[in-house]
Amino acid sequence: QGRTAGSNTIQAAGQHLRQATAAARVELLKMASTRLDVPADRLVVTDGLVRDMADASKRISYAELVGGRKFNITIPVTGQQGGLQVAPAIKPKKYTDYKVVGTSVRRVDLPAKLTANYTYIADVRVPGMLHGRVVRPATTISKPLRVDESSVANIKGLVKVVQVGTFVGVVAQTEWAAIQAARNLKVTWSTPSAPLPATREAVDAYLTNTKSFTDNGPMPKGNTDAAFPQASRTFEATYHWPFQNHAMMLPSVAVADVQPDKVTIWTGAQGPFTTRDRISDMLGLPKRNVIVNWVEHAGCYGRLTTDDAAEDAVLLSRAAGKPVRVQWSRQDEHVWEPKGPQQLMKVRVGADAQGRMIAWEYAGRTFPWTEAQGTPQLGERQIGQKNTAPYPASPTGAGAVAQLYDIPNQKVTAAYIPWPQDDPSPLRTNPLRSPGEPAGWFASETMVDEVAAAYGVDAYQFRLRHLGSDQRASELLQATAKQAGWKERPSPSPDAGAAKATGRGIALIARGPTLVCAIADVEVDRASGNVTVKKMTMGHDCGLIINPDGLKFQIEANVMQGVSRALIEETKWDANGIKTVDWRTYPVITFAKVPDVDIVLINRPERASSGAGEPGIVPLFAAIGNAIFDAIGVRLREGPFTPQRVKAALQARTTATTARL
């Protein structure tokens, strides 16, 4: 199987599990047919009880059939990961016969989690276990020139200082001793061979001027070159989104027990099979000798597709000859976690005299999202493993409005730029919840709003008239607007000059088969620049809904993280390294600032279930940005929407107005 990523658990793995259980049911009915001497097609099952439709006295339970033994059967399986096929000849139950699917089943894990009795990966302890910490440069790309072991010789409980290549770590009898040793170990670091770009603007310039290694996107539609000269009005804008952290609540942690002929690992990685394969290569062991035990981590959002802590634990355990637990500190995590990369997006739209969009061009430029997970990871690089595939395939990044609106001429590209940091870098990149798409659709849906405002057309109505024959998207858009109490009028609001101005914004997106509509209600304090998201109305169509409550939880979580990333989250650095090293310098939203969330679910049982873990975050940046424009009449094309950026935009408009006078 592949990683837990891309909202594929229900969409892909759920289908595999459904086929496997359907195959198991067929086998149980065969067993019941033999035991009851009844043809299998005359048997029905209710609550685990198999009975003969023609003779109710003939019945037997699943428990009686299995008889307390293991129920092991062979199920035909071909392919792997995305191409995995499980029992393809078996027909599962029809959706019209579902009794549990589509209902809100209680979560069995919540009592233990709410009473602090649940075992997370941070709670794992194994006999004889030692504790390790890795010593990396605080904020920059450097190599250890000298490691002074005498600087920690007096720390009680220290077992070993480990250096392999540029990897430096400590092993101790207790976690506190490991922390003290890591803090006090004197390491002389080299001057960086390739300092980080000093500013965000420098990264934008690099993205703009560097040749891409691949350009992805859907096939062009129509001919934009011919269409733009025919447009009555043309709109162009450039949008920016910064590096952002995954900001896991629990920093990376793993346990490893390396023995001469095998290794056992405990990890919360999103790809246990990937971890197995990497450790196999790292140690030169057969894959069958690498055992990975998965234990739940406390939220990761794509960060744990790169299992750095497991590699750290393996290197330290091999050196110590005993099991070692590695727990990253908060600073370790904020500095060295792979980030969601900076994005630069240019959108150009042509519209006719009636305000109909007739030509659309979107060009996104960013670093490959999979750079950290697709190449040697942090520990591997530090012990000298070379990067043989520096630029793995990446998703297209969104902005693909081409998938949604009925625009006759479209050209959408996402260019991936080679990242020049060959050594382990704190600005290495990794998928961050719905990789690339919240920012890509921010650019796309903001531009749609800009065109609507320029023609004096209501933002909801403008989208509706451009959906063409897409009935699903139209129904979702209308249902969400109705739930939000949308009143049709052009933006900005007539009250945009108020000291505390309110506004509403809308965005509609497609992420694969899943459709999401978001409507944000905001308040903007013009004096302070502070933006408060008061309410989010979320419409969601992901086909067949398995568990309505579970889906609502996912949407609410997407809103919490999306509002946080839209308003305050930004990785900051200079030429020496990362400056956002803790919750003070990289704050996230607090519960007091989480908006009210109103959810509209559209269940389509005739359609296969599609992803829900990530799509909910995708329209939020655009909806909030559009609401800010509606409130104060100023367009923000760069995120996050901090008070400083809001005030700067207001001041820029005032300056421009004064200059015209």
DSSP letters spanning 479-536: HHHHHHT----PSSPTTTTSSEEEEEEEEEEEETTEEEEEEEEEEEETTT--EEEEEE
Burial 256-270 (b: 16+ CB within 10 A, else e): bbbeeeebbbbbbbb
At 1 the pLDDT is: 59
Q: How confident is the model at residue 80 (pLDDT cuts 50, 70, 90)?
A: confident
Spacing of C-alpha 266 from chain mean position? 23
CA distance 150 to 186: 9
In single-letter form, the type of residue at position 447 comes to M
> Which of these, 436, 300, 307, lies nearest to 368 by C-alpha position?
436
| CB-based contact 643:529 (threshold 8 Å) | yes
Mean of per-residue pLDDT scores for the chain: 92
173 exposure class (CB count in 10 Å sphere: 0-12, 13-18, 19+): middle
| β-pairing verdict for 253-259 and 186-189 | unpaired
pLDDT at 661: 65
Q: Which two tokens stand for residue 42?
A: 């005359």
Q: What is the band of 215 on the pLDDT scale with cuts at 50, 70, 90?
A: confident
Average pLDDT over residues 380-409: 68
Tokens of 547: 């568990």
Give me 285's structure tokens. Answer: 């062991």
Rounded mean pLDDT, 168-175: 98
Q: Which residue has the tokens 């095998």?
A: 262
Taking only the tens place, the pLDDT of each residue in 490-499 is 999 999 889 9
The yes-or-no verdict on residue 657 having pLDDT over 80 is: no
Distance CA 110, CA 115 (A): 8
Q: What does the DSSP assignment read for 322-353?
A: S-EEEE--HHHHHHHSPBBPPEEEEEEEEE-T
Q: Residue 94: helix, strand or coil by DSSP?
A: coil
Range name among 136-145, 149-158, 395-404, 488-497 with the lowest pLDDT average = 395-404
**pLDDT for the residue 373:** 66
Cβ proximity of 143 and 381 under 8 Å? no
Per-residue pLDDT at 197: 82
Higher-pLDDT residue of 146 and 421 is 146
Query: Which tokens sit at 341?
Result: 């990369």
Contact yes or no for 147/293 (Cβ under 8 A): no
Q: How would residue 437 be classed by pLDDT, with cut points 50, 70 and 90?
A: very high
pLDDT mean over 527-540: 98
Q: First CA to last CA across the chain, in angstroms?
A: 65
The token pair that represents 166 in the structure block: 């540029």
Q: Tell me how far apart the alpha carbons of residues 211 and 200 are, in angstroms, rounded to a whole number.
A: 19
Task: Give the confidence band of 141 by pLDDT, cuts at 50, 70, 90.
Answer: confident
pLDDT at 497: 86
Question: Which of 533, 551, 535, 532 has the alpha carbon at shortest distance from 543?
Answer: 551
Q: How high is the pLDDT of residue 421? A: 59
Percent of the chain with pLDDT strictly greater than 70: 94
CB contact set of 330 (below 8 Å; sequence gap of 6+)? 251, 581, 582, 583
d(CA 625, CA 620): 8
* Out of 5-14, 356-365, 440-449, least confident range: 5-14
pLDDT for 658:
74
Q: Is the preceding omega at residue 640 within 30 degrees of 0, hence cis?
A: yes
Per-residue confidence band for 6, with pLDDT thresholds at 50, 70 and 90: low
What pLDDT sits at residue 395? 47
Determine the pLDDT at residue 387: 64
Q: Which of 100, 104, 98 has the alpha carbon at shortest distance from 547?
A: 104
CA distance 75 to 97: 24
Q: Please choose, from the candidates 449, 451, 467, 345, the residue with its C-alpha nearest in 3D space to the C-alpha of residue 396.
A: 345
Q: What one-letter code names the amino acid at 458?
A: D
* Residue-wise burial string across 140-159, b where 16 or more C-beta atoms lie within 10 A, e elsewhere: bbbbbeebeeeebeebebbb
Largest CA distance in the chain: 95
CA angle 207, 211, 212 (to 5 degrees): 80
Please state the rounded mean pLDDT for residues 308-335.
97
More confident residue, 12 or 341: 341
SS3 of residue 220 by DSSP: coil
- Domains of the chain (ranges; CATH) run 8-99 (no CATH), 122-192+252-327 (3.30.365.10), 470-660 (3.30.365.10)
Closest CA to 446 of 567, 622, 234, 641: 622
Find the range with the poorest average confidence among 123-127, 432-436, 622-626.
Answer: 432-436
Q: Which two tokens stand for residue 236?
A: 């162009």
Angle subtended at Cα 50 by Cα 44 and Cα 56, rounded to the nearest 5 degrees: 80
pLDDT of residue 493: 97
Whether pLDDT at 86 is above 60:
yes
Q: Quick one: pLDDT at residue 123?
A: 97
Instruction: Note the pLDDT tens digit of each residue in 14-26.
Output: 888 889 999 999 9
Question: For residue 428, what pLDDT band results from cuts at 50, 70 and 90?
Answer: confident
Rounded to whole angstroms, the Cα distance separating 185 from 420 reads 30
pTM given for the model: 0.94
Q: How far apart are CA 554 and CA 548, in angstroms?
A: 10
Q: What is the pLDDT of residue 305?
A: 87
Q: Tokens standing for 340?
A: 């969601």
Give the span between the Cα atoms of 375 and 390, in whole angstroms.
6
pLDDT in tens, 119-136: 999 999 999 999 999 999
- Judged against a pLDDT cut of 90, whether residue 368 lies above it is answered with no
Cis peptide before 492 (omega within 30 of 0): yes
Q: What angle do CA 366, 367, 373 make, to 5 degrees?
A: 140
Mean pLDDT, rounded, for 133-151 = 90
C-alpha–C-alpha distance, residues 345 and 347, integer Å: 7
Q: Which SS3 state, helix, strand or coil, does residue 599 take?
A: strand
> Taking residues 237-253, what's their average pLDDT?
96
DSSP string, 356-381: -EEEEEEEEEE--TTHHHHS--HHHH
Res 254 pLDDT > 70: yes
Find tokens 């309410």 and name the residue: 535
Q: Which residues contact 209 (CB under 8 A, 6 or more apart)?
A: none
Report the residue count for the chain. 661
Mean local confidence (pLDDT), 577-604? 96
pLDDT for 399 beyond 50: no
